[in-house]
Amino acid sequence: MKIRDSVVFVTGANRGLGLAFVQQLLAAGARKVYAAARNPETIQVDGVHPVRLDVTDGNAIAAIAKECTDVNLLINNAGITLRSGFLAADAVEAARAEMETNYFGPLHLSRAFAPVLAKNGGGAIVNVLSVLSWVSLPTSGTYSASKSAAWSLTNWLRTGLRAQGTQVVSVHVGLIDTDMTKGLQLPKVQPVDVVRQTLAAVDQGRDEVLADDVTRQVKAGLSDQPGIYLTFDLAASYAAA
């Protein structure tokens, strides 16, 4: 599908990557952009339609989808990371919270908007994932699990929505220069670069975005012996990229 004249629903749209999506969609000629956030008053972009939405609230998502019946591009961007290993004292609570936002959020949104997209010609879904869909770090085990689950969801959506003509794009990326990675002294990709790659993939009908060198290195290493997921070291990977 084409970005120009599209009607787009973006979650987590008030800052970071979500804000960059909103700005670049308008610049690329989207006809309407619904900018969703828990606190829509924090969205300070002219020309968008702010929407109050908590992506962990399935009932609210269903209600919003019934209102926004003109959407033909859904961007599941909202995400959290609590930086927890599986043996940390709060690991179970962190895992539940991350799964609610990072997995169940896109699941609810995709289920709610799939009929809307079908009615509007098929359209597209973009799921913002991570290089940590494929590898894990000692301090991010619960986050990686949520993104792996979201990757599996994305792969199902590709097959499950193929008959209605819905394009499904996964965006895998390492460190993005946003509040989420503040304090990490490693190279970071700019949000606008990730967004431009993603919108190009939608325009060109592609299914996957590998947005930085580390992500491309990890994807290529999944079939290595031993697999990169057995040996992954974040700092070493950035040094080698």
Confirm whether 143 is a catalytic residue: yes
CB 133 within 8 A of CB 172: yes
Residue in the structure block whose two tokens are 């008959």 = 163
Which one of the listed residues 103, 143, 229, 238 is annotated catalytic? 143
User: Rounded to whole angstroms, how far apart are CA atoms 76 and 218?
Assistant: 23
Helices (H), 120-233: 141-160, 191-204, 213-221, 228-231
User: Rounded to whole angstroms, how far apart are CA atoms 151 and 170?
Assistant: 7
User: Rounded to whole angstroms, how far apart are CA atoms 214 and 211?
Assistant: 9
- ∠ at Cα 103 (5, 131), nearest 5°? 80
Task: Identify the bridge partners of residue 32 per DSSP, sorted by sequence position.
Answer: 7
Using alpha carbons, list the distances in angstroms from residue 193 to 81, 91, 129, 159: 21, 33, 15, 28
Sheet holding 73-76, edge to edge: 49-52, 32-37, 7-10, 73-76, 124-128, 167-172, 208-210
H/E element, 111: helix 105-119
Best CA proximity match to 213, nearest among 230, 231, 197, 201: 197
Q: Which residues are catalytic?
A: 143
